[in-house]
Structure 1
Amino acid sequence: MGNLDKETQSRINQWLTNEYDLATVAEVQQLVDNNEETELLDSFYKELEFGTGGLRGIMGVGSNRMNKYTIGKATQGLANYLIKQFPGEDIKVAVSYDSRNNSQAFGNLVADVFSANGIHVYLFKELRPTPVLSFAVRHFHCQGGVMLTASHNPKEYNGYKAYWNDGGQLVAPHDKNVISEVNAIQSVNEIKFDRDERNITLVGEDFDDIYIAANTKLSIHPEAVQAQKDLKIVYSPIHGTGITVVPKILKAWGFEQVTIVDEQAEPNGNFPTVIYPNPEEEEAMAKAKQKGQDIDADVVMATDPDADRVGVAIKTPSGTFQLINGNQIGSLLSYYVLSSKKALGQLKPNDYIVKTIVTSNLFAAIADAHQVKYYETLTGFKYIGEVMTNLLGKENYLVGGEESYGYLVGDLVRDKDAVNSCAFIAEMTAYFKSQGKSLYDVLIELYLKYGFYKEKLISLTKKGKAGADEIKQMMADLRANLPKSLGDIEVVEVRDYQLSETTDMKTGKKSKIDLPKSDVLQFITIDGDVISARPSGTEPKIKFYCSVKEKLSFSTDYGQVSNRLDDKVDVMMADIIKD
Structure 2
Amino acid sequence: MESNVQSALQAIEQASDNGALSGSAKENIRVWLTESRYSDYRQTVIDHINDNNWQTLDDVFWTIIPFGTGGRRGRMYPIGSNAINDRTIGESAQGLADYVVDYANGKTDLSCAIAYDTRHQSRHFTELCAGIMAAAGIKVYLLDDYRATPQLSFAVRHFQCDCGIMVTASHNPPSDNAVKVYWSNGAQILPPHDSEIISRVMNCEEIKCMPFDEAVSKGRIEIATEEIDREYLAVSAACGFPGPRDAKILYSPLHGVGAEAVLPLLKHDGFDEVEVYGPHEEKSGDFPNVPGHVSNPENLAVFEAPIQYAKASMCDVILATDPDCDRLGVAAPISLDASMDWDTLDGNQLGCVLTDFVLSKRSEAGDLTPEHYVIKTLVTTEMTRMIAENYGVRCVGNLLVGFKHIAAAMEQEGPDTFVFGTEESHGYLIGQYARDKDGAVACLLMSQLIAELKKDDRSLHDYLGDLQRKYGYHKEKTVSLFMEGSEGMVAMKRLMQAFRDNPPKRLAGLNVTGIRDYLHSTHTDIASGKSTSLDGPAGDLIFMDLEEEGNYVAARPSGTEPKIKLYNFTRLSPTESSDLKHAKQALQERIDALEKDMRAFAQLNS
For the aligned pair, the TM-score class normalised by the smaller chain equals over 0.9
- Name 1:440's counterpart in structure 2: 461
- Name 1:563's counterpart in structure 2: 585
2:73 equivalent among 33, 56, 60: 56
1:26 to partner: Cα distance: 4.2
More deviation in 11-20 or 302-311? Answer: 11-20
1:536 equivalent among 558, 566, 581: 558
1:163 and 1:515 map into 2 onto residues whose CA distance is: 24
- Name 1:95's counterpart in structure 2: 114
Residues 1:165 and 1:361: Cα distance change in structure 2 (over 3 Å): same
1:573 equivalent among 582, 595, 598: 595
- Name 1:381's counterpart in structure 2: 403
1:218 aligns to 2:239 (yes or no): yes
1:479 and 1:177 map into 2 onto residues whose CA distance is: 30
Q: Secondary structure at the residue paired with 1:302?
A: strand
With the length of structure 2 as denominator, give the TM-score of the two structures.
0.91
More deviation in 47-56 or 3-12? Answer: 3-12
RMSD across aligned positions (CA)? 1.8
With the length of structure 1 as denominator, give the TM-score of the two structures.
0.95
1:250 and 1:21 map into 2 onto residues whose CA distance is: 50
1:308 to partner: Cα distance: 0.6
- Name 1:339's counterpart in structure 2: 360
1:100 to partner: Cα distance: 0.4
The one-letter code matched in structure 1 to 2:598 is I
Alignment of 1:33-432 (within 5 A): 33-60=50-77, 61-89=79-107, 90-185=109-204, 187=205, 190-195=206-211, 196-197=215-216, 198=218, 199-220=220-241, 222-225=242-245, 228=246, 231-274=247-290, 275=292, 276-317=294-335, 319-376=340-397, 377-392=399-414, 396-432=417-453
- Name 1:450's counterpart in structure 2: 471
Q: Secondary structure at the residue paired with 1:277?
A: coil
1:10 to partner: Cα distance: 3.5
Q: Secondary structure at the residue paired with 2:486?
A: helix
Extract unaligned runs of 5+ from structure 1: none
The one-letter code matched in structure 1 to 2:243 is E
1:202 to partner: Cα distance: 1.1
Contact 1:150 1:158 in 2 (8 A): yes
Cα deviations across residues 179-237 of structure 1 (Å, max 9, x unaligned)? Answer: 1121222x3xx1112233331111223421210111111212x2323xx2xx1000000
Contact 2:32 2:39 in 1 (8 A): no
1:21 to partner: Cα distance: 6.4
1:369 to partner: Cα distance: 1.0
1:551 to partner: Cα distance: 3.1
Cα deviations across residues 264-314 of structure 1 (Å, max 9, x unaligned)? Answer: 112100111122111111222223222221211111111111001111001
Contact 1:52 1:171 in 2 (8 A): no
1:350 to partner: Cα distance: 1.4
Residues 1:6 and 1:566: Cα distance change in structure 2 (over 3 Å): closer
Cα deviations across residues 418-467 of structure 1 (Å, max 9, x unaligned)? Answer: 01100111011112222222111100000111110011111111111121
1:332 and 1:255 map into 2 onto residues whose CA distance is: 20
Contact 1:444 1:555 in 2 (8 A): no
Q: Secondary structure at the residue paired with 1:479?
A: helix
More deviation in 457-466 or 444-453? Answer: 457-466
Contact 1:169 1:382 in 2 (8 A): yes
- Name 2:9's counterpart in structure 1: none
Aligned length: 569
1:460 and 1:438 map into 2 onto residues whose CA distance is: 35
Q: Secondary structure at the residue paired with 1:241?
A: coil
Cα deviations across residues 374-424 of structure 1 (Å, max 9, x unaligned)? Answer: 01111100000011122226x511111111111112221111110110011
1:103 to partner: Cα distance: 0.6
Q: Secondary structure at the residue paired with 2:324?
A: coil
Contact 1:15 1:25 in 2 (8 A): yes
2:523 equivalent among 502, 521, 524: 502
Q: Secondary structure at the residue paired with 2:380?
A: coil
The one-letter code matched in structure 2 to 1:280 is E
Task: Give me the identity figure in percent.
Answer: 38
1:477 equivalent among 473, 494, 498: 498
The one-letter code matched in structure 1 to 2:434 is V
More deviation in 105-114 or 501-510? Answer: 501-510
Contact 1:261 1:287 in 2 (8 A): no
Contact 1:52 1:175 in 2 (8 A): no
2:302 and 2:351 map into 1 onto residues whose CA distance is: 20
1:177 to partner: Cα distance: 1.4
- Name 1:488's counterpart in structure 2: 509
Q: Secondary structure at the residue paired with 2:544?
A: strand
Residues 1:486 and 1:7: Cα distance change in structure 2 (over 3 Å): closer
2:300 and 2:156 map into 1 onto residues whose CA distance is: 34
